[in-house]
Structure 1
Amino acid sequence: MQIVSVNVGLPQEVHWKGRAVITSIFKQPVLGPVAVHAEHLAGDGQADLRVHGGPDKAVYAYPQEHYAYWQPLVPPELLGPGALGENLTTTGLLESEVRMGDCFRAGTAVLMAVQPRRPCFKLGIRLNDERVVKQFQEARRCGIYFRVVQTGVLQAGDALELVERSPYAVTIQDVADCYYLPEKDYTKLMQILALPFLPPSWREGFEKLAAAQSS
């Protein structure tokens, strides 16, 4: 497992469908070491802290393996590293293999996998196609949000080393599938709700799904 590219971006104003939007989704690759702070990478920022950023969305990774899926759907000039708004473009770090709560060393930092991504309309702005948001959800190639367990420094080319395996047998893919697929696995739903570090926004959504299943 490896970091292919480190990508950051600060809030900027863009015009979309006749209105001004502030967004940080236009991430660009950077060379050399990048500091990992408690809630973000150095040089990176979030435009709307109500739904972005915070300790449970400190670092976002997206597998380079998924880029092949997007090639028929997105113009090639828009598909460079960081195209999906990720801070880390990675190889070998797949949602189906990473458990909720797995901890990885990246450079001198330690990151804990805590949730998949739910895209907002700004992904459509980044890829110049509002349909991408629905396609992203349907594909369930969501990438991984990390909490920072230990601050440090990382850079492109660094290995991603699993340093602590989560005791909970729930993968990032399990969470995305349980949320997006129409047929719900009630047992898996209960396993997800048992996670002590499940972010509040996901907990609320899954509690509603569980209530609907049991009624």
Structure 2
Amino acid sequence: MPQLLSVNVGMPRDIAWHGETVRTAIWKEPVQGRRMVRRLNIDGDKQGDLVGHGGEQRAVFVYQIESYHYWEQKLNRNDFVFGQFGENFTIQGLSDEEVCIGDQYRIGDALFEVTQPRVTCYRVSIRMNNPQMPALLVAHRRPGFYLRVLQEGEVEAGNEIIKVTAGPERMTVADIDGMLYLNDHPREKLERALHIPALSPGWKMSFQSLLEQAVRGETTGSNSGLAPQAGPLRLGKASVPCKYQRSNGRVTACALLSWYQSTNIPWQRLSLDSLSSCA
């Protein structure tokens, strides 16, 4: 039976990074006892960047202990602690290759629905002290996933995770993640994804754009800013609203994706002269 191993919360803090100050709440600490989960947050938890994080569709981030073990081996590290990947729930079981968008789970007194994979963000590079981490999470198909809170309630470490409802179309978190970030965008899969009511609106908009390109016979590609081999690119300051930019005008791939998902502009039409990767 899948199990909740740790409940982790954190408040925004300012972190010095590459000569800049980054506001982030990716540092999460385990809490003891029962903790209330509400529509937007777990009590004691906040997000530092509400453009790319938080909201009803991304109230709780989940990561698996099996992925901890995987990365410990791949990265040759033994210093991981609960909350290492910025997750609210560290769980046992329910891999990204198994969990589907729209699946519903009861944990403690609360009821949750899977809405989307994690959008890889440069902040995980800061937390992991590894600039390649965002690209690695995608390439190795281990992004983790977000939950929407359908019924508020208390949870605690040790709770069993009980599957209540299977999502329609049976599209896994790993499949959905790969469709956006990698090269393969089959029309049939895009259409299926758009039929999943629980899928976050931003992801639906992205897939709708890709589907329209496929219908027109246009070639679609991956998000090059997140490719493991991608070097720094640049996006002109005028192309992206200031709230998505850092103080020096640089734009990270995750910030671009957050902006892109709030528009209906296919990323292939963006003027990519200044995008830096999430690394």
Same fold (TM over 0.5): yes
**Residue in structure 1 matched with residue 122 of structure 2 by the alignment:** 121
**Residue in structure 1 matched with residue 228 of structure 2 by the alignment:** none
Query: Partner of 1:14: helix, strand, or coil?
Result: strand
What TM-score, normalized to structure 2? Answer: 0.74
Paired residue type of 1:73: L
Paired residue type of 1:136: L
More contact order relative to length (CA 8 Å, sep ≥ 6): 1
Contact 2:101 2:114 in 1 (8 A): yes
Contact 1:136 1:142 in 2 (8 A): yes
Query: Partner of 1:21: helix, strand, or coil?
Result: strand
Paired residue type of 1:148: V
Contact 1:74 1:127 in 2 (8 A): no
Name the stretch that deviates more: 200-209 or 83-92.
200-209
Alignment of 1:59-208 (within 5 A): 59-71=60-72, 72-73=74-75, 75-77=77-79, 79-208=80-209
How far, CA to CA, are the matches of 1:136 and 1:173 in structure 2?
Answer: 10
How far, CA to CA, are the matches of 1:4 and 1:179 in structure 2?
Answer: 30
Paired residue type of 1:76: N
What TM-score, normalized to structure 1? Answer: 0.95
How far, CA to CA, are the matches of 1:205 and 1:49 in structure 2?
Answer: 19
Identity %, equivalent residues: 37
How far, CA to CA, are the matches of 2:159 and 2:45 in structure 1?
Answer: 19
> Per-residue displacement from partner, 1:149-179 (whole Å, max 9, x unpaired)?
0000001100000112223322222211222
Q: How many residues align?
A: 214
Instruction: Call closer, same or farther: CA 1:124–1:164 in 2, change over 3 Å.
Output: same
How far, CA to CA, are the matches of 1:168 and 1:183 in structure 2?
Answer: 18
**Residue in structure 1 matched with residue 210 of structure 2 by the alignment:** 209
Higher gyration radius (CA): 2
| Unmatched runs of 5 consecutive residues or more in structure 1 | none
How far, CA to CA, are the matches of 1:66 and 1:108 in structure 2?
Answer: 26
> Per-residue displacement from partner, 1:47-80 (whole Å, max 9, x unpaired)?
1111110000001111111112211326422x21
How far, CA to CA, are the matches of 1:53 and 1:81 in structure 2?
Answer: 20
> Per-residue displacement from partner, 1:127-164 (whole Å, max 9, x unpaired)?
11211111112112011100000000001100000112
**Residue in structure 1 matched with residue 220 of structure 2 by the alignment:** none
Contact 1:118 1:137 in 2 (8 A): no
Paired residue type of 2:75: L
Name the stretch that deviates more: 98-107 or 150-159.
98-107
Contact 1:34 1:41 in 2 (8 A): yes
| Unmatched runs of 5 consecutive residues or more in structure 2 | 217-279
How far, CA to CA, are the matches of 2:184 and 2:100 in structure 1?
Answer: 21
